[in-house]
Amino acid sequence: MTKRQYVTEDEIEQFSNIQVTDAKEAEDQMSHAEEMVDAYVGFQVKHVDDVYSGLATSGGSNYLIDTSSDSPLKVHFDDYFTYCQVEIIGGTGSGQTRNIVSSSKSSNKITVSPDWTTNPDNTSFYVIKQLGKFPRDEDAFLSSDYKWYKSIPEAVTRATLAQVEYIIEKGSDYFAGAVDYDSEQLEGYSYKVKSGRNRFISPNARNLLKGIYNKKGRIEL
């Protein structure tokens, strides 16, 4: 599972020309592509825009519970924290970061993936944040039974897939700045690449992100 959860290994094999032979390397490439897409699209209104923290009261192999009176897990409806990450920054299990796959208001519990290496306990201080710029507010919906449903825009998933292919095609030297390409081609059309950071984004990805790209507050790689 990637850090931002924009794309899965199955989607890589299904929708691109990439055959995954090393799961860890594939995850690293996908996470790198997600990070570059985020940097390109500029300012977006994240669904979970705040950073939450607390002291766990207990934990298990794939979950953390915080039943304290000021627990952020008491405040928000079920699955509000999906597509977020939780990091234990103090106490037992310190240094571990995991993706949150579900959250429960009634049980004050978050479930994570992959499993913890060291299970949290009542000394574990944690921080929750949405690392990626997606899902946005407009990608999240609260149902009548008070449960959050979220999705990653299809354009973002497809752009991430295109970016993975681009990273593999160009090689690490290109992104390290050791190689400077003056031109690129897209579907037989040749054009010059403006000097600067945009060359690090796949032409196909740029095209897919036209409806999402926001110049205001844009972060340059």
Give residue for tokens 């037989």.
188
Q: For residue 178, list its beta bridge partners.
A: none
Domain count for the chain: 2
Return the number of other C-beta atoms located less than 10 Å from residue 92's C-beta.
17
Specify whether 72 is located in the same domain as 31: no
**What is the residue-level pLDDT of the chain in tens, covering all 221 positions?**
899 999 988 888 787 777 767 778 888 889 999 999 999 999 999 999 999 999 999 999 999 999 999 999 999 999 999 999 999 999 999 999 999 999 999 999 999 999 999 999 999 999 999 999 999 999 999 999 999 999 999 999 999 999 999 998 888 778 775 444 445 455 555 544 444 456 789 999 999 999 999 977 544 45
Domain containing 59 equals: 52-129
Specify whether 157 is located in the same domain as 90: no
- Does residue 156 form part of some domain? yes
Number of H helices, E strands in the chain: 5, 11
pTM of this structure: 0.85
Rounded distance, CA 205 to CA 177, Å? 20
Pinpoint the alpha helices (H) of the chain: 9-15, 23-41, 154-170, 172-176, 203-208
- Does residue 135 form part of some domain? no
Specify whether 80 is located in the same domain as 125: yes
What residues contact residue 166 under an 8 Å CB cut-off, 6+ apart? 33, 201, 202, 204, 205
